[in-house]
A and B are shown apart, each in its own frame.
Chain A
Amino acid sequence: MKSAPNLPGYVLTSAALVALLLAAAGSLFLGRVNLSAADLLHGVLSPNANLAGLVVTELRLPRAVLAILVGASLGLSGAVLQGLLRNPLAEPGLLGVSNGAALGAVISIYFGLAHAFGLATPLLGMVGAMAAGALTFAFGRSSTLTLILSGAAVSSLMSAFLALALNFAPSPYAAYEMSVWMLGSLSERSWDHVFLAAPFIGLGLAILATMGRAIDALALGDVQAQSLGIHLDRTRVLALLGVGLCVGAATSVTGSVSFIGLVAPHLVRPFVGHQPSRTLLPSALLGATLLLLADIGTRVIHTNTELRLGVLTALLGAPFFFWLVVRLRKVAP
């Protein structure tokens, strides 16, 4: 099996950072409205309020920041889960957390709580995510296999309730809006969304970032990892908590965005010698970059109706699965 070059840590991280910065710059300079780079810069620097400055500081910048936070959440969560479950097909949705977040947010909209106070939707999204995660953990804590199965069960349950909410939507418009929200989007997000989600995402990322040592040891299997001093229970709880917080907050503000959490760690892994702890930071950076690029795509590809972010990531992610299968066919007997 031909393996990718095993790059020193700093080379990979620097490359990922450069890619991220380029994508972020693209996100600021590109949009549905054509404004030249000179105009934009001039606008930002000018002390008077002006259109270009407003577009950058109030529209594109918070959108880019949110894309980075959400993309990093998805990438890092995927990397941690793949390391924890020793399965390259694991992704944040596996534990039922994304569906739980979607359900929480949809409930907030359905019952009009979003009107009561602005924080309602993201907060309920996070409550939903944590509830789903807790349920998964309660049923699946005994082993890795039961964790996966429990996550699938919780995911289905949340899906069922989402379908129920759609079925009994208070009006046809509400049903349409719920469906469309679930397709995922970063458009029209403001600093409000950033300030709401950032603390939870930050906390979640911080928790997940500490899990490197544990998932490395898990490369030897549960028992050997335990013999090396790793608390399996605590590790699973931390993983669920971290994933629940950041994926929950992310899904609450953007809707369901798929495949980033699956693809980013996968692309990174060959370059770090398949070592789980070394996939963490690059996955976060690559996840952020991929999401930024997808978001730019939704703005630059001309469509009549808004091309939704989740749709674009799904359209690009599904072929990735096929590519995986083809590769596997070549390798396996």
Chain B
Amino acid sequence: MKPALRSAVLGLAAAAIVGAGSPVAGAGRPAPTRMPMRIMSLNLCTDLLLLQIAPKSRIASVTFMARDGARALFPGLEIAITVNHDLAEDIVKARPDLILDSTLGAPMTRAMARRAGARVVEVKNANSFDDIRQIVRQVGDEVGEPARAAALIQRMDATLATLAAHPPPRRLRVVAWSGGTAVPGKGSLTDAIITAAGAVNVAAQPGIAESSFGVEELLVARPDALLFGGATLGQPSLLDDEGQHRVVRRLYAGRRIAYNDIAHTCGLPQSADSARDLRRALDALPKRSPAP
């Protein structure tokens, strides 16, 4: 086949595949007809997805938080990419042709983006592993790397399958709690991760109020272990300080399990690794249940 004809056929085939497989959550625009060369991400979660799926050469800019986030997930990773602060000026400077943002992205930014001629794709927040599969596929299709996305999903599913195949002897009761502010309950990603790890999320049980789950409620619920997200991105915040009520310290010494906040806030393939880490930690817990 002549080279020009071959390119045309490949291009049409690509368009067909991309057109068929991408659920665009954004403005209902038609699927891209060519691969985006300058992709910009305005949100930490989309940053991390983008960095795993697209080659660096085609990434124009990620947010300033991506570096710390990426290091937390992939220790040793260095990204040398221009950073943005999710501002209109950044969009102008980066001259992107594709912008990934969360569904909560600032309207001004989106308006700016349209004027700059870039497509805006909104990636929703993941609350389950199904959601994660969906958004990974979505980003893969949008940036033109469906194979890479599929590979990531496959690895994630393998991890989950391993966990499901070897259930723990006893389903331990846990709650993600760091001091009385909102506690992830039913329908949250943390809940999905806990379930995948073979444990029971106390906050998802009927009769428990999700938010404002204080020490009193904790003492009554008597979970076997406490999960805490610790400091996000390594910066201090009150969450650490308030979680240290004397009673909690005493009763749950050695029974507090740290998890990587990012894998719970952002739906990523690594969220399955978080479930695996949680299982390991739960297996390592001392047998005795905390009194009283």
Complex: A in contact with B (CB within 8 Å): yes
A180 to B219, CA, bound (A): 24
Asked whether A142 is an interface residue with its Cβ less than 8 Å from the other chain, the reply is no
A48 to chain B, nearest CB (A): 8
With the chains together, A201 CA to B271 CA distance in Å? 47
Question: Which of A55, A112, A304 contacts B216, CB < 8 Å?
Answer: A55
Bound: A305/B215 CA distance, A: 15
Q: B180 touching A187 by the CB < 8 A rule?
A: yes
List chain B residues, Cβ under 8 A from A233.
none
B247's closest neighbor in chain A, by CB? A58
Counting contact residues on chain B (CB < 8 A from A), the size range is: 20 to 34
Interface hub of B182, B215, B217, B232 (most chain A Cβ within 10 A) = B215
Main SS class of interface, B: loop
Please give the distance in Å from B42's CB to the nearest CB on chain A.
Answer: 14
Q: With an 8 A cutoff between CB atoms, is A293 at the interface?
A: no
Query: With A32-B217, A51-B220 as given contacts, are A59 and B292 in contact (CB-CB < 8 Å)?
Result: no
Which residues on B sit within 8 Å (CB–CB) of A174? 235-238
Question: Is there a chain B Cβ closer than 8 Å to A10's Cβ?
Answer: no
Are A50 and B292 interface neighbours, CB within 8 A?
yes
- B253 on the A face (CB < 8 A): no
Contact A190 B181 (CB under 8 A): no
A49, A177, A181: most-surrounded residue (chain B CB, <10 A): A177
Task: Give A29-72 as 1s and 0s: 1 = Cβ < 8 Å from B's Cβ atoms.
Answer: 00111000000000000001111001100110000000000000
Bound-state Cα–Cα, A177 to B219, Å: 24
Q: Which residues of B contact A109 (CB under 8 A)?
A: 236-238, 241
A306 and B212 contact, CB distance less than 8 A: yes
Say whether A55 contacts B219, CB under 8 Å. Answer: yes
Asked if A121 contacts B241 (CB within 8 A), the reply is yes
Contact of B236 among A31, A115, A305 (CB under 8 A): A115
The size of the chain A interface, using a CB distance under 8 A, is 37
> Given A49-B291, A306-B211, A180–B181 Cβ distance below 8 Å?
yes
With A54-B292, A59-B247, A306-B180: A188-B238 Cβ-Cβ less than 8 Å: no
**Contact mask A146-177 → B, CB, 8 Å, 1/0?**
00000000000000000000000011011011
Contact with A along B215-240 (1 / 0, CB 8 A): 11101100000000001110111111
Given contacts A187-B180, A188-B180, A305-B211, contact A54 B247 (CB under 8 A): yes
- Asked whether any CB of chain B lies closer than 8 Å to the CB of A178, the reply is yes
Given A115-B236, A188-B179, A58 and B246 contact (CB-CB distance below 8 Å): yes
**Contact string against B for A residues 288-313, beta-carbon threshold 8 Å, 1 for contact and 0 otherwise:** 00000000000000011110000000
- Contact B232 A188, beta carbon cutoff 8 Å: no
A188 touches B245 (CB 8 A): yes
Q: How far is the CA of A173 from the CA of B181 in the complex (A)?
A: 12
Residues of A within 8 A of B254 (CB): none
Chain A residues with CB under 8 A of B182? 305
Cβ of A142 to closest chain B Cβ, rounded Å: 40
- Asked, given contacts A33-B220, A54-B219, whether A171 binds B235 with beta carbons under 8 Å apart, the answer is yes
For residue B214, CB closer than 8 A to chain A, the reply is: yes
A115 to B210, CA, bound (A): 28
Q: Given A115-B240, A188-B179, do A33 and B235 touch, yes or no (CB 8 Å)?
A: no
A139 at the interface (CB under 8 A from B): no
Closest chain-B Cβ to A298's Cβ sits at a distance in Å of 9
Pair B216/A32 contact, Cβ less than 8 Å: yes
A114 and B241 in contact, given A188-B214, A190-B247, A306-B211 (Cβ under 8 angstroms): yes
In A301-333, which residues have CB < 8 Å from any B CB?
303-306
Q: Nearest chain-A residue to B213 (Cβ)?
A: A32
CB-CB < 8 A to B92: which residues of A? none
A33 to B232, CA, bound (A): 30
Question: Do the beta carbons of B236 and A110 come within 8 Å of each other?
Answer: yes
| B242 in contact (CB, < 8 A) | yes
User: B209: CB under 8 A from chain A?
Assistant: yes
Q: Which residue of B lies closest to A48 (CB)?
A: B292
**Distance in Å: Cβ of A110 to nearest Cβ of chain B:** 7
Distance of A306 Cα from B224 Cα, bound (Å): 24
Q: Is the CB of A305 within 8 A of B212?
A: yes
- Greatest chain B CB density within 10 A among A31, A121, A190 is at A190
The residue in B209, B239, B245, B246 that gathers the most chain A C-beta atoms within 10 A of its C-beta is B245
Closest-by-CB residue of B relative to A174 is: B237
- Against A, the Cβ 8 Å flags (1 = close, 0 = not) of B170-198 are 00000000011110000000000000000
Q: Which of A55, A173, A176, A192 has the most CB of B within 10 A?
A: A173
0/1 string, B241-259, CB within 8 A of A gives 1: 1101111000000000000
CB distance from B220 to the nearest CB of A (A): 5
Q: How far is the CA of A63 from the CA of B214 in the complex (A)?
A: 13
Q: In the complex, A199→B292 CA distance in Å?
A: 32
Bound Cα distance A175, B237 (Å)? 8
Contacts of B211 in A (CB 8 A): 304-306
With a CB–CB cut-off of 8 A, which chain A residues contact B236?
Answer: 109-112, 114-115, 170, 174
Closest to A298 in B: B212
The 4 closest A-B pairs by CB, nearest first: A177-B238, A112-B236, A170-B235, A306-B212
Query: 9 interchain pairs (CB within 8 A)?
Result: A49-B292, A51-B219, A54-B247, A170-B236, A170-B237, A171-B231, A173-B237, A181-B238, A306-B212
Give me 6 other A-B pairs in contact (C-beta within 8 A), A171-B237, A177-B239, A187-B214 excluded.
Answer: A59-B215, A109-B237, A109-B238, A171-B232, A181-B238, A304-B209
